[in-house]
Structure 1
Amino acid sequence: MSDVVIYHNPSCGTSRNTLALLREKGVEPTVVEYLKAGWTAPQLTGLFAKMGVSPRDLLRVRGTDAEARGLTDPAASDAAILKAMTENPVLVERPIVVTAKGAALCRPMDRVLELI
Structure 2
Amino acid sequence: MSKKIIVYQKPTCSKCRATLALLKDSGQEFDSVNYYDMPLTVEQLRELIEKLGLPIRDVLRNDEPMARSLKLAEQQLSDEELLKIMVNNPDLIQRPIVVRGDEAVLCRPPENVMKLL
* TM-score, length basis structure 2: 0.90
What are the Cα deviations for residues 39-92 of structure 1, in whole angstroms up to 9, with x where unaligned? 101101111111111221100123340121121125232222111011111110
Mapped contact 1:96–1:106 kept (Cα < 8 A)? yes
For residue 80 of structure 1, give the secondary structure of its aligned residue in structure 2.
helix
Identity, % of aligned positions: 39
Mapped contact 1:9–1:95 kept (Cα < 8 A)? yes
Could you list the structure 1 runs, at least 4 aligned residues long, displaced by more than 6 angstroms after superposition: none
Number of the residue aligned with 1:36: 37
* TM-score, length basis structure 1: 0.91
Q: How does 1:1-116 map to 2 (within 5 A)?
A: 3-73=4-74, 75-100=76-101, 102-116=103-117
For residue 8 of structure 2, give the secondary structure of its aligned residue in structure 1.
strand
Higher RCO structure (Cα 8 Å, ≥6 apart): 2
Distance 1:61 1:29 in 2: 29
Unaligned runs of at least 5 residues, structure 1: none
Distance 1:101 1:115 in 2: 11
Mapped contact 1:97–1:104 kept (Cα < 8 A)? yes
Supply the AA of the counterpart residue of 1:39.
L
Distance 1:26 1:7 in 2: 18
Unaligned runs of at least 5 residues, structure 2: none
Distance 2:40 2:67 in 1: 16
Give the Å deviation of 1:100. 3.0
Supply the AA of the counterpart residue of 1:58.
V
For residue 27 of structure 1, give the secondary structure of its aligned residue in structure 2.
coil
Supply the AA of the counterpart residue of 1:107.
R
More helix by share: 2
- Matched residue count: 116
